[in-house]
Amino acid sequence: MGKVSEGNGGGCGGGRKEGAYLLGPPTFSELPNGRLKCVETGHEMVVKDKDSYAQSKRCRLGLIEFGLSHSKPPLNMFKQDPLSRSKLICKLTGDTVNKSEEHIWKHINGKRFLNKLEQKEMEELMGETMAEEDEKKPKKEKKKKKKEKAVEEIISEVRDSAENESDSEELEFWIPPVGDRWDFDDGGDRWGSGSESDQGDDENEPEAVDEERGKESEELSRRAKRISIEIELSSFASRKKKSRKNAS
C-alpha cells in the first residue's frame, strides 16, 4: 500500500449547507496500480475522482458509519437507531436525529444538547471533587479504623483460643475404664461396717446422757448450798442487832 493522503475538500464550494462537511474530508491511500482507496469506506477510484467522491452522499454516509463504529467525536455521542437505518439516537438527550451531517451539527449545537452536556460535565466534576476529598481525609481516621480492626481481630483470636482450650480440657478429663469406680470402692463390707458403727453410737448415747445429768445435779446442789449459807448469815446478823437493842 502506498502513501496515505487526505483530501483537501476542493470542489466543496461556497453553496454548501451549514454543517454539511462536519466530519471533514475522507482519508485516501494510494494503491500499487495508481488508483486511490478511501480508508473509511474502502471505495477505490481514480485520482481525478477524489474530490467528487469526497462530496458524494455515499462518502458522507460512510464517514458517519465509520465514526459510529470507532467512537469518533462527535459521533461518540450517538448510536444507531435499531428501528431505522437512516436515524441516530443521541445518548445524552435520547432524541432521534437524521443520519446526516447537517442534522447532527444542528443537534449538537442546540440548547437542549448543550444544557445536558453542561449538566453531565458538572456531575463528573463533582464526582472527581468528592473523590479527591476522600483521598485527602486525615490519616488519623484511617489509622483509627486499622486499630479498631486489629482489636477486633485480637478479641476474636482470644475467643477462639478460649473455646479451643475448653474443648481440650473436656477431652483431657479422666474417664475411668468401663466397670471400674473412680474411688476404687469394690462394695465389700459396706453394710457390715456401717451397722457396727451405728450400734456403737447407740450404746454410747445413754452414757453421755447420764454424764450430763450428773453435771446438772452437782450444779444445783452447789447453788442450794450457797443460798442456805446466805440465809444463815442474814438471820445471824438480825439476831445480833436485836440483842444489842435489848441490852441498851
Determine how β-strand 96-98 pairs with β-strand 87-90.
Answer: antiparallel
How far is residue 114's CA from residue 105's CA, in Å, rounded to a whole number? Answer: 12
What span, in angstroms and rounded, lies between the C-alpha atoms of 12 and 18? 12
The residue with cell 474530490 is 51
Dig out the grid coordinates for 248 from the structure.
441498851
Whose cell is 450430763? That residue is 212
Q: What pLDDT score was predicted for residue 1?
A: 45
pLDDT value at residue 207:
65
| pLDDT value of residue 227 | 75
**Which pLDDT belongs to residue 7?**
41
Q: What is the mean pLDDT of each run of 10 residues along the chain (248 residues)?
A: 43 64 95 95 95 95 96 95 96 96 96 94 88 70 71 77 62 58 58 50 59 74 73 66 62
Q: Measured in Å, how far apart are the chain's first and last C-alpha atoms? A: 178
CA dist., res. 3 & res. 145, Å (int)? 62
Residue 8 has what pLDDT? 41
Q: List C-alpha distances in Å: 104 to 14, 97, 99, 116, 213.
A: 20, 7, 7, 16, 131
Listed as own residue / partner, the contacts of 33-39 with beta carbons closer than 8 Å and 24 or more positions apart are 38/62, 39/4
Dihedral, 144, 146, 147, 150 alpha carbons, nearest 10: 160
Which pLDDT score, from 0 to 100, does residue 237 have?
A: 63
